[in-house]
């Protein structure tokens, strides 16, 4: 039973990914695209955790932590660039 629930959850997260990609392509502004990318990062963490439950292996958490870190740094860097036109002053 729990396998079926995990599969349904994976499909739901994939649909969420498709919606994010729509916003990523459609825009209309740059900030919208940054927001869509940020949501993609968070969704990919969810996907990795679900897959690791499905495969019953706990090796995937390091990837999840790395994606969380890199996603945050990337979003902050792009936003800072949009605000100041420069990342490190």
- Shortest distance (Å) from residue 27 CB to another protein: 10
Supply the minimum distance, in Å, between the C-beta of residue 88 and another protein: 15
Q: Are 20 and 39 in contact (CB under 8 A)?
A: yes
Residue 87 and residue 89: Cα distance in Å, rounded? 6
Q: Which of the residues 43 through 62 are near another protein (CB under 8 A)?
A: 43, 45-46, 49-50, 52-53, 56, 58, 61
In the complex, the smallest distance separating the C-beta of residue 37 from another protein, rounded to whole angstroms, is: 10
Q: Is residue 75 involved in binding another protein (CB under 8 A)?
A: yes
Residue 27, burial from CB neighbour count under 10 angstroms (0-12, 13-18, 19+): exposed
């Amino acid at each position: 039973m729990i396998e079926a629930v995990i599969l349904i959850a994976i499909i739901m997260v994939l649909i969420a990914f498709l919606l994010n990609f729509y916003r990523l392509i459609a825009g209309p502004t740059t900030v919208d695209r940054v927001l869509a990318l940020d949501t993609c990062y968070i969704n990919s963490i969810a996907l990795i955790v679900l897959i690791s439950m499905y495969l019953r292996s706990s090796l995937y958490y390091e990837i999840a932590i790395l994606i969380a870190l890199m996603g945050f740094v990337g979003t902050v860097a792009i936003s800072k660039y949009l605000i100041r036109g420069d990342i490190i002053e």
